[in-house]
Amino acid sequence: MFYEDLNVGDSFPVLKKEPITRVQLVKYAGASGDFNPLHTVEEVGEQAGTGLIAHGMLIMGMVSQGVTTWIPRKNVSKLKVRFQKMTKPGEAIEIVGKVLEKHDDNKIVGEVVALNDKGEVKVAGTFEAKLPSKVEQNLVGNQR
């Protein structure tokens, strides 16, 4: 992907994730070390009045996967997110994004959002990336 290939307002392909499962939450707890029972023990969730909820960082990981599906990881310099709403087991998450800004130094600023199947925003944020330029690559190639 090159800087010239993107325009302000361009949308990235949607990344669709399978519905969150209780098994996934237990595996994520083990992988992350976050054993808060609110994520894995039904009774604790009921006592809290929320039911089971997914780890926020699990959803942020999905957001990161979306960004690095669109833009090579080596080009991404910043990801900033805000958690909007809790995610529950059974919810399918989609990661959507678009280009917000282009700068003269080949930097783009994009928007990224994690939505459930009802369109509720779970996580919203922005990212920055510096992309290679076709023009610069052609100049280097012609000097050889």
CATH number at residue 98: 3.10.129.10
Q: How far apart are CA 95 and CA 43, in angstroms?
A: 30
User: How large is the C-alpha radius of gyration of the chain?
Assistant: 19
How many domains does one find in the chain? Answer: 1
Is 131 inside a domain boundary?
yes
Distance of CA 102 to the CA centre of its chain: 20
Is 41 inside a domain boundary?
no
Tell me which residue range forms the domain holding 16. Answer: 3-21+54-142
Block residue for tokens 């310099």: 77
Is 15 inside a domain boundary?
yes
Q: What is the mean pLDDT of residues 96-120?
A: 97
3-state DSSP assignment of residue 59? helix
Is 35 inside a domain boundary?
no
The string of pLDDT tens digits covering residues 23-57 is 999 999 999 999 999 999 999 999 999 999 999 99
**140 band by pLDDT with thresholds 50, 70 and 90:** low
pLDDT attached to residue 138: 65
Is 104 inside a domain boundary?
yes
Which run of H or E residues covers position 81?
Answer: strand 76-83
Is 89 inside a domain boundary?
yes
**142 band by pLDDT with thresholds 50, 70 and 90:** low
Is 43 inside a domain boundary?
no
Is 14 inside a domain boundary?
yes
Q: How far apart are CA 110 and CA 64, in angstroms?
A: 12
